[in-house]
Structure 1
Amino acid sequence: MINGFTLHDTASAPAASIGILDGVQKSWGLVPNLHRVLAESPAALEAYATLWGIAEKTGLTPQERNIVYIAIIYENECTYCMAGHTNLSRVAKVEPEAISAVREGRPIADPKPEALRQFAAKVTRNRGVVSEADVSAFKAAGFGNGAILDVLVLAATKLISNYTNHLAQTPLDPFMKGAEWNAPGKLKPAA
């Protein structure tokens, strides 16, 4: 870890983070290192936990949500989240070939998830500025305006986690073993 971040538990976390950490433990059976870092700021931990819950309520299927997440993670080059979401994608029964394609930055053979991957990547890469043609292509694949906005909910969720992991260099959790990932290395620190 860098920049003095701590992996908190309920003994070291600020009081306002303890209930959220307990909830994560109860839901997941563990507290991922990301949550342990976020616990330093009860507001950051609550924001991430809340957005995660809201993201689960979008109109996207679990498989579609995971395609979006890993497409965003690819663009943001977050090694921690890529490892975690690779395994979460497997649990959600995303096609193994689709997972591999997104992790490698290449097209998915199936056109509908490929449209989702492309759109999420462009929204992330271009900070929400996409062309009319990009929106039309996304809609032609069977998605509507609701899905466009749902992608933004997932992007907001990943902004918190991906950026936190960059700042803290969050170590991988044991459940991520076998899903490690090397980022393409396009991102460079600000001058």
Structure 2
Amino acid sequence: MTRIATPAIDTATGATAEVYAQIKKAAGSVPNTFATIGAHGPAALKAVLQADGALAGGSLSKQDQETIKLTVSKVAGCDYCVAAHSLLGKFTGLSQDVLKAIRDGQPTGDAKRDALVHFVSKLVRTSGTVSQGEFDAIKAAGYTDTQLVDISLAIAVTVFTNVFNRINDTAVDFPAVA
């Protein structure tokens, strides 16, 4: 049971109903986290969706975006987002073995992906300026300055949903992962 009450999606009006309609059109349904955020903060939900839209048109592949989002979610301990990004990662073509390796903090067999997981994990686990060595390593893996901007945005959006779901204890409506 979630902590924040969420009215039935079909009772939404105004800005919330508009956002829900956009989500339904794109995804077929409104995930629980979006339903609750939209019910109480439609502007916040719009901002998340706009940020995801910016990422979709950005410099990172869909697989890299889901790698980042899954990594952040695992570090944060957000079971909702781990389940969601495991499924979404599968839809981008990441194999179950790669997704499990990301969740377990193990090598994926792809040096560039492993560098991304390491870099993102380091960013979300620590504070302060990233060391020159960490910066050099992500650049040596092939990530550009533009991609570093998009990596930062992907982390920021994921942190928001992770924190919200941890506060709300959002009921997971994606296939659970071990």
TM-score, shorter chain, exceeding 0.5: yes
Which residues in structure 2 correspond to 1:20-169 (within 5 Å)?
20-39=19-38, 40-127=40-127, 129-169=129-169
Give, as a single letter, the amino acid of the residue that structure 2 aligns with 1:73.
S
1:17 and 2:16 matched = yes
Per-residue CA deviation, residues 7-52 of structure 1 (Å, 9 max, x unaligned), is 3344444522110001101110011001111011112111111111
**Structure 2 CA distance for partners of 1:105 and 1:36, relative to 1, 3 Å:** same
* 1:119-148 residue CA offsets vs partner (Å, 9 max, x unmatched): 111122225732111010001111121111
Whole-angstrom distance in 2 between the partners of 1:98 and 1:51:
26
**What one-letter code is carried by the residue in structure 1 that aligns with 2:34?**
H
- Cα distance in structure 2, aligned partners of 1:180 and 1:95: 14
TM-score normalised over the length of structure 1:
0.86
Measure, in 1, the Cα distance between the counterparts of 2:35 and 2:104: 28
CA distance 1:127–1:13, change in 2 (3 Å): farther
Give the percent of matched residue pairs that are identical in Structure 1 and Structure 2. Answer: 27
Structure 2 contact 80–172 (Cα < 8 Å) conserved: yes
Going from structure 1 to structure 2, the CA distance change for 1:135 and 1:109 (only over 3 Å counts) comes to same
Q: Could you tell me which residue of structure 1 aligns to residue 171 of structure 2?
A: 171
* Superposition RMSD in Å: 1.7
TM-score, length of structure 2 as denominator length: 0.92
Give the structure 2 partner of residue 189 of structure 1.
none
How far apart, CA to CA, are the structure 2 residues paired with 1:113 and 1:9?
Answer: 40
Extract unaligned runs of 5+ from structure 1. 182-191
- Structure 2 vs 1, CA of residues 79 and 42 (structure 1 numbering), >3 Å: closer, same or farther? same
Change (3 A) 1:64 1:49: same
Q: Tell me the SS of whatever aligns to 1:48.
A: helix
- Partner of 1:101, secondary structure, is helix
Q: Which runs of 4+ in 1 moved over 4 A?
A: none
2:60 aligned counterpart, secondary structure: coil
In 2, the alpha carbon distance for the partners of 1:90 and 1:117 equals: 17
More helix by share: 2
Matched to 2:138, the amino acid is: F
**Cα distance in structure 2, aligned partners of 1:35 and 1:9:** 12
Which range is displaced more, 94-103 or 29-38?
Answer: 94-103
Contact 2:2 2:171 in 1 (8 A): no
Q: Show structure 2 runs of 5+ residues with no match.
A: none
Task: After superposing the two structures, state which structure 1 stretch, 104-113 or 8-17, moved more.
Answer: 8-17
2-structure distance, mates of 1:33, 1:127: 31
